[in-house]
Amino acid sequence: MNRLQAYFLSALFAVSAAVQAQPPVPIAGPKALTGVPGAAAQVLPDFADLVDKYGPAVVNINTQTRAQPHQAIPGLSEDDPFYEFFKRFMPPEQRPPNPNEGASKGGEAPKGPLRPFGLGSGFIVTSDGFIVTNAHVVENAEEITVRLTDKRELKAKVIGADMRSDVAVIKVEATNLPTVKIGDTAKLRVGEWVIAIGSPYGFANTVTAGIVSAKSRDNLSGDPNMDAVPFIQTDVAVNPGNSGGPLLNMHGEVIGINSQIFSRTGSFAGISFAIPIDYAYNVAEQIIKTGHVTRGRIGVAITNVTRDLADGLGLAKAQGAVVSNVEDASPAAKAGLEAGDVILKIDGRAVEGSADLSRTIRAVKPGTRVNLSVWRAGKTRDVAITVAEFKDEDTNKAKVAKGKKGEAKPGKLGLAVADIPAEQKRALKLSGGVAVEAVQGAAQVAGIQAGDVILRVNNTDVANVKAFNEVVAKLDPKKPVALLVRDENGTRFAIIRPDSE
């Protein structure tokens, strides 16, 4: 034993002895923290009974896929001189098949052998074998094996997978299976205890515990498919293989599906994310009943309201969703919604931001009529919209021909503008606005470019250069200015701040 080993062992024994010498210290419960006289202290929770009751409903999922010739040796092309070299030294069951074998006999080239593809988790929601998991767990899988806590292994088939929510439903042929209890995410509180059950790195039915760190987190993965998922953030240890497993509260209810971690190494770093069960189970139920998912849409592109934008538009709070573009012939267009409108409420419920509006609308059944509270030009108005079925569609793009640099001299706000010819207004379907000819200073910092069109300054529409200059002349130089700008990508608000001039 070297000196370093001896040091760590002695330190370990010292810590162990110190812990054994001290009696357990109770943790103050919520009442004690409020200073209520006589409030009893609480000890840390015991999850054993909860795991005994609901753990058997959590399953381990193993997937397999067939090796394809171009996939069998990662990072090497078939044209690479080392491809054949490495192929010869691979185990026979993992070698890529010869694409020409069988072709001489008029048949198809044989498929590659099944090989391990991925590990994940899931939970049983019906006693006859419907299991909920993540869509990415079963994506591209050709064979799925589900392992239960009683050591049974059952083959499963995919009933449906929805990449926009990362939720999938698979089915095994069995009866009288244990099931989970579905909870209510609306009752979930930041700071309450939760546990995850899953198969990190293949260690089946592993239990980890922590607390809810935050709610309604926007998607940080960069996947636009999941832009409407209001993630639950926890500090529960989650690693590869936990995906698709349940997040449970202290009542044993599933309140989320463990889906993502934030990590720079690929392993748990103290931040994990779960899909709220109310959002996920709505998707799962549709898959079980119909095999597919239907979502609502109104046909708008939206962004969040910033503090500067709220100040510029005269809003009391930085809340709501700004309409940056309205699709032609969409429900929003038919209802009279316009670019630059700020959607504050839907059916009387406050809209926190763009993700909140997206997830709310997508949860609405197509054909349903909803009422929006909209802020436009300094006033609130109600707009009734009939929700249509969600489809991915391109937004309309348009741009005024760019002026030449140095052609015009920028004035206040760092902008030089010009009137838009009538024929261009007709082509772009504009009723007003001014074209940007040159940009500098504050406007350049705000991302405005020559060729953009300015439609509104704060809450005032501008029909021409004269109207634009009149509005700008009255602006408070100490306050940020919100310009409604149209460019080739749609319509957006650009904020010009006093400190950037």
pLDDT tens readout for residues 349-367: 999 888 788 888 888 889 9
Judge whether residue 155 has pLDDT over 50: yes
Q: What is the pLDDT of residue 461?
A: 86
500 is catalytic: no
**Of residues 121, 213, 243, 358, which has the active-site annotation?**
243
Pairing of strands 253-261, 181-182: parallel
Where in the chain do CATH 2.40.10.10 domains reside?
56-172, 182-290
> How far is 167 from 174, CA to CA, in rounded Å?
22
> How far is 284 from 147, CA to CA, in rounded Å?
21
Higher pLDDT, 218 or 188: 188
> How far is 338 from 448, CA to CA, in rounded Å?
21
Judge whether residue 159 has pLDDT over 80: yes
**Of residues 121, 162, 166, 213, which has the active-site annotation?**
166
Homologous superfamily assigned to 296-389: PDZ domain (2.30.42.10)
Homologous superfamily assigned to 56-172: Trypsin-like serine proteases (2.40.10.10)
What's the whole-number mean pLDDT along residues 258-286? Answer: 88
State the Rg of the chain over Cα.
29
**Of residues 121, 136, 324, 373, which has the active-site annotation?**
136
What's the whole-number mean pLDDT along residues 457-462? Answer: 88
Q: What is the pLDDT of residue 78?
A: 54
Spatial CA neighbour of 167 closest among 56, 62, 293: 293
**Residues across the chain:** 501
| pLDDT band, very low/low/confident/very high, at 221 (cuts 50, 70, 90) | low
Q: What is the pLDDT of residue 226?
A: 63
Spatial CA neighbour of 494 closest among 313, 326, 224: 313
What's the whole-number mean pLDDT along residues 178-186? Answer: 93
CA 265 to each of CA 90, 202, 219: distance values in angstroms, whole numbers, following the listed order:
28, 18, 19
358 is catalytic: no
Higher pLDDT, 212 or 81: 212
Architecture of domain 182-290: Beta Barrel (2.40)
Work out the number of other CB atoms within 10 angstroms of the CB of residue 270: 13
251 is catalytic: no
Residue-averaged pLDDT of the chain: 79
Where in the chain do CATH 2.30.42.10 domains reside?
296-389, 412-500
- Judging by beta carbons within 10 Å of its beta carbon (0-12, 13-18, 19+), is residue 84 exposed, middle or buried? exposed
CATH number for the region 412-500 comes to 2.30.42.10
- Judging by beta carbons within 10 Å of its beta carbon (0-12, 13-18, 19+), is residue 44 exposed, middle or buried? exposed
Q: Of the spans 3-17, 302-316, 396-410, 432-446, which averages the highest pLDDT?
A: 302-316
Sequence-distant (≥ 6) Cβ neighbours of residue 138 within 8 angstroms: 61, 63, 120, 144, 158, 161, 168, 170
